[in-house]
Structure 1
Amino acid sequence: MSSNDDVVVIGGGVVGTACAYYLAKAGRRVTLLDRGRFGAACSHGNCGYVCPSHVLPLAAPGALWSTLKTMLRRNSPLKVRPGAVLSNLGWFLGFARKCNERDMLAAAVGIQALLNSSRALYDELLAAESIDCEWDTHGLLFVFHTKGAFDHYAEVDHLLRDKFHLPAERYDADGLLALEPALKPGAAAGGYLYKSDAQVRPDRLMTGWRAVLTRVGVTVRENCELTGFVREGSTAKAATTTQGDVPAADFVVATGAWTPLLNDHLGCRVPIVPGKGYSLTMPRPSVCPTYPMIFEEHRVAVSPFKSGYRIGSTMEFAGYDAVLNRARLGLLRDGAGVYLREPESEPVQEEWCGWRPMVYDGKPVIDRSPALSNVMIAAGHGMLGLSMAPGTGKLVTELLTGDKPHVDPTAYGLKRFG
């Protein structure tokens, strides 16, 4: 039988890792389970941004029309298979309903709370635990190819300054080239630098954080897939897994894009759909960017790590299709090639794709299961899992230990879905 201190965290990505870490630091005895290898899914191959700048959800005024226009373009960075729409029609209708200013601003308040919390917690975590993950606090550059897009972003910049206290430094074409000489002359009309943002190398973060988990007493069990719960009324007594039952007093489900497959066990419909992203990892080019950059019009991001270089992004709604679409990798290369003097190098060390857990309103779910009072759900962080992980882990710990939450959890509740 479990003691009152035992917690099982299901999911070995960055959010589950953060939950396990803060629970262990609060004195709980933690077992972390992962259906595959620890840290091998979306927490492995993303671009590594810790970005308080990303407060606005994808569902925004005009997003539906711009999305439709983008989808009609050949080689669009956004790809939606018709079957994915039909099988997730409620999700896409929910997204459409949220594409207005009121809902966008309301969602952004909840998003910002976790982003700001996590950005501060990363500074504390990496200093306290001496995790070597190539932490870089230079900032993040938003780069625009055309003058029209650059000028249009001034409206977003104004909104972020006024509503969310997020100033950026604006650079015209010449100033941007002086700031970042890795850009091609004439390739960019301008850019905005968010000094609030930072970057890690995700695989090194996960390797270092796992060592910390071991040091603070967390047991990690890989290839251990959750198949349900042993229930006693409205309480879970054990997690049923492919390695047997694992008893505990509390459970945290941090299973990312896989979470909807557990709906029957959780007693609710968690509105998450998988949005597949891609990346290429290689050595640093000889002319390597100083800053991580997002090429907004091409939806391509580059990450200059100290020990390597990554091109990533795009979005593909294709259900749980795990096939590596090489055409999508080509879009990454082509997009980076528009802007950079030396967009890639050889050899390519890894071609990767992974599923982001997308919720249509842009906010994660951090709430108790309506069917099992001692099961907490922490999933649906979209493209911001790395950016929101420490704040999520701390909040989950506070909710389970009864401490006062450091951010208001109301925004992340299941009740918002009706």
Structure 2
Amino acid sequence: MSDPIVIVGGGVIGTTCAYYLTKAGESVVLIDQGDIGQACSRGNCGYVCPSHVLPLAAPGAIGSTLKTMLQKNSPLAVRLRFDPSLWGWMLRFALKCNQRDMIDSGHAISAILNHSRTLYGELFEREPIDAEWEQRGLLFVFQTEKAMNHYAETDHLLAEVFGQGAVRYDGAKLTELEPSLKPGIAGGWHYPGDAHLRPDLLMSGLRQIVLQQGGDIREKCQFRQLERDGRRIVAVQTDQGRIPTSRVVMATGAWTPLFAKELGCKVPIQPGKGYSLTMPRPRVCPTIPLIFEEHRVAITPMRDSYRIGSTMEFAGYDATMNPKRLALLRDGAAIYLQEPTAEPVMEQWWGWRPMIYDGKPIIGPSPAWDNLWIAAGHGMLGLSMATGTGQLISELVTGKAPSIDPAPYAVTRF
């Protein structure tokens, strides 16, 4: 019997890789430096959103970003510091802000988002996971007519190029659709193909199934290094000892650049810190997940709770909670909702999103080692892309024909 596949990283990407590999009959050891699903996979807004096909790098993004950053309470913050990797990342991001590269990245993002959306539907039909899966779509809400009409160009592009058009609701029609919104808001665009779930319940459910399928999960297990023999990895060294292995999957999220030497390649990921607040459901609670695009605030109604999330802070690997970022979430929600918050707050959360400048995740083999694969760099769409990534990694690692073309996600593109 061959040594197991070791997956390093127990977020939603690593855990879905473990799920599909154990389902394929493989022996798997999943390790995480903390507890499974307790980092960026815990407090996100839980969207499974094929509508989010466009990368952040788009025509006009530099100007709008600079304008946003100059605002007093900007949802985007960059901590100025000497960090060559950050400024190199920003330069490459700027070079991608053109129509051709945006559409190219959009096709790659669309492929894995659509595949993941289908696989989520199959997952919840097949497995006993109660993750509060809801297929109510996603509603982009705009405060002003100018922003509402400007977004019409984006929606037209999404419909014509990616088949992701929305239903438009203006004025009173919007509050008929979602009565929790304040009167007088300009309108919104509803993407009916999107869905949402509760991330922590998804993670606990997947964890249980991986164990039932024979997987070995080791929490609070710190990755140290890879033990190599020629071009092959033969063991993973951890603070709990040596794990012999036949194959390795590195699903280490925002931490991935710290392992460049072990990976045998550089990975241009920057940690983009996001925040969320979880609280009881307000008396007048939304029924549809909402994104307030002008203020970069997202709302997720859950069965017995309610989450406000988003913002983006490029502050390196800073592990402190910034209360000003949490205040932005409250303030943004208050502009749009009749009852934007409820008390008491159940959780204040932050997590590092693994941001790549071209918006496409890395899913595929390392160029340096014959039996190591990377699954990282999913940005703000890790949960949305998780099932497609997990299945694709399982197919690549086991030598099966891939369900979608893996070429756009190769690390060699850098």
- Same structural fold, with TM-score higher than 0.5 when normalized by the shorter chain: yes
1:72 offset after TM fit, Å?
0.8
Q: Which amino acid aligns with 1:129?
A: E
Question: Over residues 328-354 of structure 1, what are the superposed CA-to-partner deviations in whole Å (9 max), with x where a residue is unaligned?
Answer: 000000000000000000000000000
Could you tell me which of 356, 361, 377 is aligned with 1:380? 377
Cα distance, 1:355 vs structure 2? 0.2
Counterpart of 2:128? 130
Residue 62 of structure 1: aligned partner: 60
Residue in structure 1 matching 2:346, options 324, 349, 360: 349
Counterpart for residue 2 of structure 2: 4
Letter in 2 for 1:289: P
Name 2:153's counterpart in structure 1. Answer: 155
Q: 1:168 is matched with which residue? A: 166
Distance 1:21 1:375 in 2: 18
The answer to whether the 8 Å contact 2:136/2:192 transfers is yes
Alignment partner of 2:72: what SS? Answer: coil
Note the C-alpha offset of 1:86: 4.1
Q: Superposition pairs for residues 385-396 of structure 1, below 5 Å? A: 385-396=382-393
Q: Give me the identity figure in percent.
A: 61
Instruction: Provide the residue aligned with 2:48 in structure 1.
Output: 50
What's the TM-score once normalised by structure 1's chain length?
0.98
- Residue 287 (str. 1) matches residue 284 (str. 2): yes
Distance 2:318 2:67 in 1: 24
Q: Output the aligned Cα RMSD.
A: 0.9
The offset of 1:414, in angstroms, is: 1.4
CA distance in 2, matches of 1:320, 1:301: 24
Secondary structure at the aligned position of 1:82 is classed as coil
1:225-276 CA-partner distances (Å, limit 9, x unpaired): 1111111011100111111111111110000000000001111110000000
CA contact (8 A) 1:281 1:349 kept: yes
Alignment of 1:13-412 (within 5 A): 13-83=11-81, 86-186=84-184, 188-412=185-409
Secondary structure at the aligned position of 2:29 is classed as strand
Moved more, 291-300 or 371-380: 371-380
CA distance in 1, matches of 2:321, 2:17: 30
**AA at the equivalent of 1:367:** G
Secondary structure (helix, strand or coil) at the match of 1:229 reads strand
SS of 2:102's partner is helix
Q: Is the 8 A contact 1:39 1:206 kept in 2?
A: yes
Q: Quote the Cα distance in structure 2 between the aligned partners of 1:34 and 1:5.
A: 19
Q: SS of the residue aligned with 1:119?
A: helix
What is the letter of the counterpart of residue 67 of structure 1? T
Matches of 1:176 and 1:315 in 2, distance apart? 28
Contact kept in structure 1, 2:51 and 2:194, CA below 8 Å: yes
Query: What is the SS of the residue equivalent to 1:239?
Result: strand
Contact 2:182 2:337 in 1 (8 A): yes
Q: Count the aligned residue pairs.
A: 414
Contact 2:367–2:412 (CA<8 Å) still a contact in 1?
no
SS of equivalent to 1:44: coil
Distance 1:253 1:116 in 2: 24
The amino acid that maps onto 1:7 is: I
Structure 1 stretches lacking a partner, 5+ long: none
Distance 1:300 1:84 in 2: 29
Deviation string 1:337-380 (CA, Å, 9 cap, x unpaired) is 00000000000000000000000000001121122211100000
Q: 1:388: how far off?
A: 0.2
Structure 2: distance between partners of 1:336 and 1:216: 42
The amino acid of 1:94's aligned partner reads: R
Per-residue CA deviations over 1:113-158 (Å, capped at 9, x if unaligned) read: 1100100000111111120010000100000011100000100111
Shift of 1:4: 3.0
The alignment partner of 2:81 has SS state of: helix
Q: Is the 8 A contact 1:84 1:318 kept in 2?
A: no
Deviation at 1:34, TM superposition (A): 0.2
Alpha-carbon deviation of 1:412?
0.3
Give yes or no for contact 1:52–1:197 (8 Å, CA) kept in 2.
yes
TM normalised by structure 2 equals: 0.99
Aligned-partner Cα distance in 2 for 1:96–1:61 = 9
State the SS of the aligned residue for 2:67.
Answer: helix
Distance 2:82 2:43 in 1: 23
